Every structure is written in C-alpha cells, then in structure tokens.
Chains A and B, each alone.
Chain A
Amino acid sequence: MTDSQISRSGPSVVENHLAEPGQGPTLPVEPEESGRWSAALREIVAGNIVLSVLSVVLALVAGAVLIAATNDDVQESAGYFFARPGDMVMAILSSVGGAYSALFQGAVYNFRRPDFFDAIRPLTDTLTYATPLIAGGLGVALAFRVGLFNIGGRGQMLVAAAAAGWIAFSWDLPFGVHMLVALIAGVTAGAIWGGVVGLLKARTGAHEVIVTIMLNYVAFYLISYLLRTPVLGTPGSNNPKSPASKETAVFFELLGSKYNLHFGFIIVIAATVFVWWLLNRSSMGFRFRAVGENPAAARVAGINVNRVYVAAMLFSGGLLGLAGVNQVLGTTTSGFGAGVDAGIGFDAITVALLGRSRPWGVFVAGILFGAFKAGGFSMQAAEGVPIDIVVVVQSLIVLFIAAPPLVRAIFRIPAPLERTARPRKKAVAQ
C-alpha cells in the first residue's frame, strides 16, 4: 500500500496479487492464506492502519476547529481573551467536547440511558444507516476496479427503489416471497439502468461519466412524473408520494421492534462476500481487474473489453439498486418520494474511495460513515451543530487517507522504507 496506489482502478490487493508472481525469485512460495496474513501484518507494521487512524484524528481536529470557531460562546470569550484566557479555553472545550460526545452517543453507545439494551441502540442505528452506504459503496467500488466511474448511483437507486416499491405496495404475495420478488425486481432495475451505461460505452464509446450524470436526471424526472400518476402515486393525494410498502414485503427487524436494524444488513453482508468472491476468486473478476489495470493489455490478452464494461456496469448498477431497495423496504417503508435516494448515490463514491475499492474496506468505511450519519443527527439535535460538519470531516478523512505523505509530514512520522513505491512510480512515468 503505497501513496500512489489509490488509483482510479482501485488499488493494491489486485496489484499485490498480480505482482507477487513477478517477485517470485526473492519471495519463498507461500500458500495463499499465510501470504494474505503476512501481507496484513506488513500493512500494520508499515503504519498504514496507524496512518488511517491519524487521518481520522486529523479530520476530527479540523472539524473541532470549525465547531469552536463558529460557536457563540467561544466568539464571545475571544473578545476578552487577554483578560481571561481561561474562559475561551473552557468555551472551546465545552463546545467541541459537547459536539463530539453527542456524536459518539448518537453513533455508538449512549451513557445516559440506564439500561444496556437501550444504551446500545445507537450502534444498531449506525449499522442501519451503514446498510445502504455499504451496498452503494460496493457498486461504485466495483466500477472503479474496472476503471469506470459510476456517478449514476442516484439514478440507479431511484429506478430500483421505484421498481421494488411498486411491487411492495401493489402486489399481494405471501411473506418472504413478496420481499424476495421486490428485492429481485429492484436490483434488476438498478442493474438495467447501470447496464445501459455499459452498453452505450461499449457500443458507441460514450463516456460513462456523462451518461451516468444524465441518467441521474432522467431517472429523477421519470420517477417524479410517475409519482404524480396513479402508477406510483397515492390515489386521491396531491402529495407526490407512493403508498406505504406492504408488511409482507418489508425487511423484517433483526433484533426485535426496539431496534431499527433490519434484514437488509444481512443482505449487505452477503453482497460484500459476493463482491469479494467475484473480484478475487472468479475468472470474471480477474477479467474485471485486468481491464481496470490496463484495457489495452487486456484486449491484447484476448479479453472482450466491451463485454466486461457491460457486465461491470450491470453489477455496479445492481449493487446500487440494492441500496435503493434498502431505502424502500428498510428505511422509508411508509411510502417514498423522488428524494428517496437521500444522496446515498453520491455518498457511496466517498465510501468506495475510503474503502480503497476493496469489498471489506468498503464495508468498514460504510460502517464508519453510518456512524457519522447516526451521530450527526443526534449532534445536530443536542448541540445545534449543523450536520454538515459530518460531511466536512468525512471528506477530510478521505483526503488525508489518500495522501499518506501529508499525514506523515504533519505528525513527523518517518517514511517507511520504500518497498514497491519506486519501481512503480518509474513504471508510471515510462
């Protein structure tokens, strides 16, 4: 994991795996399992985990500066700073401490509740918020690994939510089957919406960034229109909102009615395993990564690059579709509007970046962002700090993690011995 490895095609694991045979002479041939463990160990020793933690700390410090600087008490006490500097220090500590403890209590564990099962509730909220973020992040990450940039999460989520929502409120099916049918319909709709992009890129060379952006708007207006008509809208209501999903289709609660965590989380874990298997263990995944690394070389090697683009966008759209399904069957089951995507299509990009386009990385990043989201709401409610601060902290984390030299320079950590960095950089320059 070197600095320059966070490339668009998604980094490291692929490269390490692909590169290892090349380094064969110097490395003893290890069975794969232990190779992975030693790689993990090396990663920790080389300070990557430490750097990630430090990035989070740095971002939180930057957030603290913002919170303190815009706090009324702090500003007031700054007026007489030289008379009583202690006041300002106290004001800063109370504003920042209050905000971050509210964030923690809203995201992980609420000390104020007497009962453990009440107190742990925020953690389950975090997982609930994380669910669509992970699904969407996986979709974006998968496209990244093939060298495609899928900004079309919003559109893919919307059509998926509409398809799943339509089945959920208008069909009558037994419990379980109903959910499954709605899930499949939604994922399929998302996959088709994404697959169109891959098809257009493969057949006509249309740039996927343009097409996905445009399809976002098309989906938005299409769904807005349908919500005004009886197809998706509630009959006899002027509000452009669909009827509520039927009980038989809704994701059931995992931990009882006290917690919001629902079956979607299990599906998302399964999706993460699937994407991991797809990318790292299947021959299609190998083609995906090969195209992501170098489409020209992949073509020479006999890989049908166009077919890979279509397949990758189908999978990517399907995963974002899963995020959309999760919205209508898990989060807003009381009927959805045209804003049902809740910006997750764009958040997913940051999640994928933070997870470095690796399935389990995305999983962890999704939970972290879910925690920020859950905590952000309670921070806004308790301390009056706008939830936008969470967005700032999140984006700073990604920025810092993407630039290890910067973090090292700030904390004066010596750079690790350059292992693979130099040859790689040369290879890029050539």
Chain B
Amino acid sequence: MTDTAQRTPAAPHKDINTGPVQRSWKAPIALGVFALLAVILFMGFGRAGESTLTLSARADSIQLVPLVLPTLATCYIIAAVLVAIAVAATLMVRRGTRVPLWLTTVFSILLLLGFLVWASAGANLPIPGLLAGSLGLAVPLIFGALGGVISERVGVVNIAIEGQLLAGAFSSALVASVTGSPIIGLVAAMVSGVLVSFVLAAFAIKYVVDQVIVGVVLNVLVSGLTGFLFSQLLSPNSDALNSPPRFNEIAIPLLSEIPIIGHVFFRQTLIVYLMYLAVACVYVGLFHTKWGLRLRAVGEHPQAADTVGINVGSTRFWNVSLAGAIAGLGGAFFTLGSVGAFGKDMTAGAGFIALAAVIFGRWDPIRATLAALLFGFASNLQGVLNIIGSPVPSEFMLMLPYLVTIFAVAGLVGKSRPPAASGKPYIKS
C-alpha cells in the first residue's frame, strides 16, 4: 500500500498480457486518429509563412531569442513524426507490449507544438503569456480537484466542488472588502468551503442521503444563496462590500529568473504558492503518511478500516471538511487572485471541470493537477489564438479541450476505477 497509483490498471494488466493474448488497441487507435487529424490539418490545410514563438516576457532579465520556424516545413516534419509514432505504437501492441507512457507524452507534446506552429503562421505567439494565462485559469481547477481527490478517496463523492468554489469566492470577496485584508478573506473562503462540506458530510454520513444528490443540491443552493445575497446586499453597496483588495505578486528570487517558466511559475500571488504547497502536501500526505493510509483505507474498504479501529464516520467527516477548505481556497482565487469583485455564478462551471480533472486524473492528486493544467491551457490557448487571429473559428478552439478530454477519457484513460467505497455510505452493523 505504498503507492496507490501503481495499483491502477497498469500493474495487473502486465500479468494478464503474459497469459492469453489480451491486447488493448485503444492507444494505437487514438494515436492513429490524432495523427491522421494532424496530417489533414497540417498538410491538407497547410499554411505558408513563418511562425514566431516568443520565449521571453519583457520583464525577464535573461532574454531569449524568439524562435522563428518556417510553418509548412515544421508542420510536415511533425506530422511525419506523429505518423511514425502511431505506427510504432501499432507494432508494439501487435508484439504484445504496452505503449509506454513516455511515447504518448512525446506524441501529445509534438501534436501541440505542431498545432501552435500551424495556428501562428505569420504571427507572433507569446509562449510565456500563454503559459501564465493557463496557470491562472488552472489554479481554481487544481484546488477544486485536490478537494475532490481527498473527498472521493475517503469515500464521499464530491459533486459540490462547484458550490465550494462559489462559496469561497463569495465570502472571500465580502470578508476581504469589509476587513480590508486579503489574508482574512482567504481564511473566510476556507471557512465557507468547510461549511458547505459540513452540510455535505452531515447529510451523506449522518443521514445517509445519496451523496450525488446532496452534491448537486448543494451546488444549486450555494448558487441561489450567493446570487440572492449578491443582488440584495453586494451590488447595492459594491464599494463597501464588493471591492476586495487583491493579492500582490511576489517574485521568488533566482527561481523567477529561470527563462520561460520562471516568470510563469514564480512571480505569482500568495494563492498560487499555496496551491503548489497544497499539491505537494496532498500527494505526500495521501501516499506517505499514516493519515493518508487511513483515509484511503476508509475509502476503499470501510469495513476493514473499522475492524482495525479506525472511526469511519469521523475520518470521513473531517477529511471531507478539509477537502472543502481546499476547494474554498480555489474560490478565493477568483476574487482575490484574478477578477477582484464577486459576480453572480462567477465560477461558471469550473467545479464541474475540476470534477472531470479528478476522474481524468484517476483520483491521483498529481495526475488530477496535470489534468487541471491541461484544461487551463486549452481554454487559454483559445483566447490567445483569437487575439493573434487564428484561422479556426473561435468556437471550435473553445470546444477543443472538451473534445480532447472525451477522446482521452475514452481512448487513453479507459475504464477509470474510483475508490471502491466512494459514494457508498457506511453503516456499522
């Protein structure tokens, strides 16, 4: 039980494959489809000119020379490599070996690079700006996803992430405006996230109500409550109640000077640094501490956990509350970290995307974080490409992350296995 990530389908599959042939053709098929799409796009709709990828922001002390690539030639080469990888994957599966993860990763990165080059023909694509915007969009998703991972790992399905984010955004804006201190606003966001979690936990654990029901209803409830209070209180007195101070950016010495990524990752607000800390803590905590072991035991097999003396009810209750606090922090990012003022339903479905990141990341904090980053990147890419004038209608760019997710979930991730007791109430007999 040292690393649950290892217990996901990867491990047992290998044993099965040595026996009677049971090959999974999903990976080669998915890679083949994407390679084909790339060929059609890059060659069929090839674009002449040069693509400029700017690698340094103006504020960076180390200035890198912008990368200038001939669009058509680069796209041809990348398309050829993609096809080669797809063919290689097919051969591998025919020989009975699994397609290694690194190959899929290389494929994805190349596909992305090819697309960027293709879309920015004759234009200038600012890479640091693209990454920074992506991180900004991903931060609340990551907090939400971490909350989701903890909650589901302990056995309570958390559909209420959206509600926790919204409650966090609302109370942080209100409290920070009244007190004038963003830190207190941050605490308020955590408290309100915990309050939403309390309701979820109380109904799910004490009253044994179906957890999906409570989650959905809580989202609606928080949306209605914050919307009502916003119309009644915040918008008539927006100077006093809805103009919170925002966090300032803090540049970490040395780290923030790293080319390309330094500015993106290490010249950020306090909330973003808290996010790094949260990801690390949740990962280490879940897989390398007694707390995490107990938490996972309760989520996988509550009866066994009960037998060895773990109090299932209270473990679930307090960890769901913790999940709420983390998700609440993500809500605070909407108001104190990016936009400033609270707006009605300002989370706009981010909680559901975070939920998708949890499942996409197979209930693993690191993978869920990566999934959230991917979603953030894709949504931001659309905005950036819209500005530089891409040939694709913006609606299709906006659609892309969601289509990619469907493909990825169907083709690459496959059957995702939630924690065994997730969603099931435990009643001591």
For window 395-423 of chain A, which residues contact chain B by CB distance below 8 Å?
Answer: 395-396, 398-399, 402-403, 405-406
CA distance A121 to B425 in the complex (A): 46
Docked-complex contact A6 and B402, CB < 8 angstroms = no
Segment of A42-50, A83-91, A220-228, A299-307 engaged in the interface with chain B: A220-228
Docked-complex contact A204 and B415, CB < 8 angstroms = yes
Docked-complex contact A349 and B406, CB < 8 angstroms = no
Docked-complex contact B220 and A350, CB < 8 angstroms = yes
Docked-complex contact B214 and A402, CB < 8 angstroms = yes
Chain A residue nearest in CB terms to B416: A207
**A430 within 8 Å of B by Cβ?**
yes
| Chain A min CB distance to B405 (Å) | 5
Chain B residues, Cβ within 8 Å of A430: 429
Segment of A101-109, A181-189, A208-216, A360-368 engaged in the interface with chain B: A208-216
CA distance A430 to B227 in the complex (A): 43
CA distance A390 to B228 in the complex (A): 9
Chain A residue nearest in CB terms to B221: A395
Docked-complex contact B233 and A218, CB < 8 angstroms = no
Residue with the greatest number of chain B CB neighbours at <10 A, chosen from A70, A205, A425:
A205
Segment of B14-22, B102-110, B172-180, B355-363 engaged in the interface with chain A: B355-363
| Chain A min CB distance to B407 (Å) | 10
**A394 within 8 Å of B by Cβ?**
yes
Docked-complex contact A350 and B217, CB < 8 angstroms = yes
**B62 within 8 Å of A by Cβ?**
no
Chain A residues, Cβ within 8 Å of B403: 214, 218
Chain A residues, Cβ within 8 Å of B247: none
Docked-complex contact B406 and A200, CB < 8 angstroms = yes
Which residue of the partner chain, among A207, A221, A346, contacts B398 with CB atoms under 8 Å? A221
Chain B residue nearest in CB terms to A397: B217
**B208 within 8 Å of A by Cβ?**
yes
Chain B residues, Cβ within 8 Å of A66: 225, 228
**A175 within 8 Å of B by Cβ?**
no
CA distance A3 to B233 in the complex (A): 37
Chain B residues, Cβ within 8 Å of A346: 220
Which residue of the partner chain, among B207, B229, B428, contacts A406 with CB atoms under 8 Å? B207
**A294 within 8 Å of B by Cβ?**
no
**A388 within 8 Å of B by Cβ?**
yes
Chain A residues, Cβ within 8 Å of B3: none
Chain B residue nearest in CB terms to A211: B406
Chain B residue nearest in CB terms to A349: B216
Which residue of the partner chain, among B26, B232, B359, B396, contacts A209 with CB atoms under 8 Å? B359
**A79 within 8 Å of B by Cβ?**
no
- The DSSP consensus for interface residues of chain A is helix
Docked-complex contact B210 and A7, CB < 8 angstroms = yes
Chain B window 160-201, contacts with chain A (Cβ cutoff 8 Å), 1 for yes, 0 for no:
000000000000000000000000000000000000000100
Chain A residues, Cβ within 8 Å of B220: 346, 350, 391, 394-395
Docked-complex contact A224 and B395, CB < 8 angstroms = yes
* Number of A interface residues in the complex (CB < 8 A): 52
A211-B410 contact in complex given A388-B224, A391-B223, A429-B426, C-beta closer than 8 Å? yes
Docked-complex contact A206 and B409, CB < 8 angstroms = yes
A391-B227 contact in complex given A209-B355, A210-B360, A215-B406, C-beta closer than 8 Å? yes
Docked-complex contact A395 and B428, CB < 8 angstroms = no
Docked-complex contact B429 and A429, CB < 8 angstroms = yes
A399-B352 contact in complex given A204-B414, A206-B409, C-beta closer than 8 Å? no
Which residue of the partner chain, among B213, B406, B413, B415, contacts A214 with CB atoms under 8 Å? B406
Docked-complex contact B402 and A398, CB < 8 angstroms = no
Chain A window 229-250, contacts with chain B (Cβ cutoff 8 Å), 1 for yes, 0 for no:
0000000000000000000000
CA distance A426 to B398 in the complex (A): 48
CA distance A70 to B233 in the complex (A): 7
Chain B residues, Cβ within 8 Å of A221: 395-396, 398-399
| Chain A min CB distance to B370 (Å) | 15
Chain A residues, Cβ within 8 Å of B427: 425-426, 428-429
Chain A residues, Cβ within 8 Å of B210: 6-8, 402
**B423 within 8 Å of A by Cβ?**
yes
For the side of the interface on B, what is the size category?
35 or more
Chain A residues, Cβ within 8 Å of B199: 399
Chain A residue nearest in CB terms to B382: A221
Chain B residues, Cβ within 8 Å of A429: 303, 426-429
A206-B216 contact in complex given A391-B227, A403-B207, C-beta closer than 8 Å? no
For window 329-363 of chain A, which residues contact chain B by CB distance below 8 Å?
Answer: 346, 349-350, 353
Residue with the greatest number of chain B CB neighbours at <10 A, chosen from A66, A224, A395, A430:
A395
CA distance A424 to B303 in the complex (A): 17
CA distance A430 to B301 in the complex (A): 11
Docked-complex contact B225 and A206, CB < 8 angstroms = no
Docked-complex contact B216 and A391, CB < 8 angstroms = no
**B393 within 8 Å of A by Cβ?**
yes
CA distance A222 to B402 in the complex (A): 12
Chain B residues, Cβ within 8 Å of A425: 208, 427, 429
Docked-complex contact B221 and A207, CB < 8 angstroms = no
Residue with the greatest number of chain A CB neighbours at <10 A, chosen from B26, B207, B228, B359:
B228
Chain B residues, Cβ within 8 Å of A4: 208, 425
CA distance A349 to B207 in the complex (A): 21
CA distance A203 to B355 in the complex (A): 22
CA distance A224 to B212 in the complex (A): 30
| Chain B min CB distance to A121 (Å) | 27
**B61 within 8 Å of A by Cβ?**
no
Residue with the greatest number of chain A CB neighbours at <10 A, chosen from B218, B231, B355:
B231
Chain A residues, Cβ within 8 Å of B414: 204-206
| Chain A min CB distance to B215 (Å) | 10
**B285 within 8 Å of A by Cβ?**
no
**B274 within 8 Å of A by Cβ?**
no
Chain A residues, Cβ within 8 Å of B259: none
**A35 within 8 Å of B by Cβ?**
no
Chain A residues, Cβ within 8 Å of B406: 200, 206, 210-211, 214-215, 218
Docked-complex contact A353 and B223, CB < 8 angstroms = no
For window 380-429 of chain B, which residues contact chain A by CB distance below 8 Å?
Answer: 393, 395-396, 398-399, 402-403, 405-406, 409-411, 413-416, 423-429
Docked-complex contact A398 and B213, CB < 8 angstroms = yes
Docked-complex contact B203 and A399, CB < 8 angstroms = yes
Chain B residue nearest in CB terms to A406: B207
Which residue of the partner chain, among B224, B359, B402, B410, contacts A217 with CB atoms under 8 Å? B402
CA distance A389 to B403 in the complex (A): 36
| Chain A min CB distance to B105 (Å) | 21
Docked-complex contact B232 and A399, CB < 8 angstroms = no
CA distance A217 to B215 in the complex (A): 21
Instruction: Taking A8-B213, A149-B212 as given, write out 4 further A-B residue pairs in contact, using a Cβ cutoff of 8 Å, ordered by the A residue number.
Output: A3-B207, A388-B227, A399-B217, A406-B207
Interface pairs (11), CB distance under 8 Å: A205-B415, A210-B360, A210-B409, A222-B395, A228-B395, A388-B224, A392-B221, A392-B225, A395-B221, A399-B203, A428-B427
Task: List the 3 shortest-distance A-B pairs measured between CB atoms, nearest first.
Answer: A205-B415, A391-B224, A388-B227
